[in-house]
Structure 1
Amino acid sequence: MSDKRILQLLQEGEGLRTEFKKASTSLPKNLFETVCAFLNRAGGSIFLGVDDDGSVLGVDPASVGKLKTDLANLSNNAQKLEPPFILFPEEYELDGKAILHIQVPESSQVHRTNGAIFDRSEDGDYRLNNHGQVAELYNRKRAHFTENTIYPYLGFDDFKPELFPKVRNLIYSRDPGHPWLAMDDEQLLRTAGFYRRDFATNQEGYTLAAALVFGRDEVIQQVLPHYKIDALVRREDLDRYDDRAYIQTNLIEAYEQLMAFIAKHLPDRFHMEGDTRVSLRTKIFREVVANLIVHREYTNALPATLVIYRDRVITENANRPQHHGLLVPGQFSPFPKNPTIAKFFIQLGRVDELGSGVRNVHLFLPLYSPGRVPTFDDGDVFRIEIPLDHAMAEGSVHGVSEGLLGEHNVKVSERIAKVLDFVLEHPQATTAVIAEFIGVSEKTAKRDLKVLRDRKLIHFVGPPKSGHYMPTEELREILRNSRS
């Protein structure tokens, strides 16, 4: 925020979205009542070191660092602010005096401080004392999707261009006749709901969802500085980690990086659905990863985490709860957290219909990890726990890929096995789509595909430039025998 804009706000005075507070050496006692009220209403700016009339009093320069640290720690403490919403104040100097500016966005969640819920009006903060007021606040939040927040200065040049052909390849592999394939990039964004007009304010532009799905990494960090996904392995070093993937990229590639991290550290088992061999690891963890990134509340600074232990996998992400408790298949009504992002991931084939995640994990986990039951806890932090059996903990590998691929080094064999699994699950996949999924060049993909063709496991169908790969009848027979 510029000094000119700060001076303008100080001159306009306090109101629905502006609050001044004295703060010399410590945070004001009622600060979190205002933070809570702003989160629950329309967001706004809090200025520390400013009197009620807008005159600059200043913050003790020696105390600025402590105040900033205290605010970050307290806003991330559920005992002070529930659910937590971490805030980072900015320091400015006016008339030779230091002040702190706290930018508080509107939240899609209902927040409490010290057990009380506060709302905001032009006259200031006020506590909600009856059930009717609280119910009205919850109803208002349910209708608010922060993914639809418009960023009027976010432009097409802020998007990562190489994502558009990737998206088209994924859509094509699922539905070659999809209408989005005939659109140019900007038409696709508008049709997918990433560009909107707010008829209440007449504001229009690309949305937070557009930035998250297609944005360049540096753009995403400017829009959401707190955005990150932390994937860890904690089998030996429980205090820190054995391996880590720190992800701050767009959601399309974040999904791929998380699935690659899981494939690196968890073995696979396979299951026959009719004549089709499916990866149980993919069936289960595509749902887990989708929930982690598609249904996350992105205005909350809580990092999304995925942690692989010896006996379980646990994910946690900020959430806007609807049921407040454990979710059981058939006993809850699914509610979209980010419907535009979810709808888009459905078109990519990375998400099934709403509510499928809980159902599919419960269905396939007993085949992957016999005798284990997953848990889905719908709270301010959405928590999934996937228990693993002892064979999984030891990293044993299962599946009929073993023995089919001939003499190759381990790395190449693993890659070719991934190609085979992908063809089995996507029988209309082209070379370009396969290369994109595996993360190799088309030349390398063609070489791996030739290995599979030479062993009569797959065959090519259609014209050379637009054809696709299919499993052979010989492979289907091998799979039928392995099932029996």
Structure 2
Amino acid sequence: MDAKDLLRIIDDGENAELECKAAKGGLPKDVWETYSAFANTNGGIILLGVEQKGQEFFPVDVDAKKLVKDFWDGINNPQRISKNILVDRNVEIVEVDGKEIVKIYVPRASREDKPIYIGHNPFTGTYRRNYEGDYKCTKEEVQRMIADQSPIPQDSKVLPNYGLNDLNMESVRSYRNRFSSLKPDHPWNGLELKEFLYKIGALGRLRETNEEGLTLAGLLMFGEERSITEYLPQYFLEYREKSSDVPGERWTDRIISSDGTWSGNLYDFYFKVIRRLTDDLNIPFQMEGLFRKDDTRVHAALREALVNTLAHADYYGQRGIVIEKEKMLFRFSNPGVLRIPLQQALKGGISDPRNPTIFKMFMLIGLGERAGSGIENIHLAWKEQHWTAPELIEEFQPDRTILTLRTTSLLPQESVDFLKAVLGKHYKFLTNDEVLILVTAHQENYVTNTRLQSLTDKKSDEISKLLSGLVEKGYLEPNGQGRGTKYTLTEMFHQKSIGNSRYNRISSGPNVNNSGPNAANSGPNENEQTKDHEKVLLDISELARKKKRLNPSEMDEIILNLCAIKPLTLKELSQLLNRQMDPLRKKYISRLLKEGKLEPLYPEQINHPKQAYMTRSLFTNQH
């Protein structure tokens, strides 16, 4: 890493994958909390020799070589930290402006190594990371990490006090019928019920006592909801569907495991939900010879997503499984984080399901592909339709994995038109890959190398060259370093975005003068007023766009002045101020709301899709 790259990291400030420490008095004691937090979350970078003043960060004088020695001494001391997962190349000294900074890259620990903790007690020394910094894990979080260490899958556990009377026999009969229809010559078809259940993993025996009982997989797959929740109180399945994109509209269809009208088990839930997910798919049918094939790759992808959700869930975790279907998206959410790194999961080829027996049961009736191919198949299906690439994320407190499948076009016409309007004749010189990158940055507010790997079939180094080329052309601005670098559209795009209402994605929030049912009849005065507002917003925010480092009080004043003109969304403020949304929310918006200087436009619905912010005086005048 060179000084230029490190300066980008410092300018971007602290986030979920970056921690800056002044270290003027030597190695900070809380460096071990950050090491634990990064290792137990998604990895990150620690910078020693960087001081925070207000909301800005600056290199300071430190004894870098001593810091490095003390760090290696500490991390290799089992009395200090449970395990060292670093190698030599993870720690380096970089010179910036004549000052030496120690950069420590902490990778995500494997599930076998988690939790990484301070001292001797994982329940008091384990940390994780969020946007607020390092936090001490709860007893439940540590227990889940310890449980994931085991090479024995959680769903193979034998429950000696559970037997056939805890199963819904209609579910079992249905499963056997599907199995025999798919595999009519299979030798298991002639087995007695108990032997069949034993073969598929639904029944097990404790070898020490020869005691027989349902496995956890058998209980979850075929059990009655009451029996399941007696063992797993947190167990809950939910499907909800909304047929329009009108904000605030209630769900038009909903299934929950606890309503008493059906078994509530995984097997029946799958078939209740998959029909609803695929009922109205607007996908052209395919032909096999002279025959029509209604089952497309998208149908298969949705089946794969649903099976993966059920097979990867941590059924001891909180909030249960939630499947959502809206007009332009499908969302699959389950308790528990991934057992392999997120980047590895996105690449496919390797899988580590939390419940391999449940996965096997679905595969035996033709549902679910070989381990590791699920995400790959879903990506192929979405790419075939030219839809936005699937998004897979992890959340913590509580642990959740969320897969979102959007059926929006990969190259929305509004973004293509926007690029053409800004670039003019230069647009035609862009390659298809460059257009995709700029469109993604426009649609999602920024783009990363990792995100582009999921959108294209290109490798990381190829994408890096494309991104560097767009930076050199003045189209993208990098923030951060390495895998954490976020590339945003440059100032030339911000000016056009705000100055031209036709392509203005940030001016569609509440209280825009030319919106509403009478927009078509708005007169010249209204249009002139809108342009005046846009010019004022640009003038007020000009200093923030030009200057990367501002005194917090200066930024506060700019934000309050902007929100006094009209209510502004977080995305609007991000574009006006040329700042990333997450740090902007964390450092300024949340604080100004707490101080009562800003008010939300929709105070009764904080997560309203059109939530915007205005100064308190504006709020008072309008109400």
Scaled by the length of structure 2, the TM-score of the pair is 0.39
1 or 2, which has the higher helix percentage?
2
Answer 1 or 2: higher relative contact order, Cα 8 Å, separation at least 6: 1
Which of 1 and 2 has greater Rg?
2
Scaled by the length of structure 1, the TM-score of the pair is 0.50
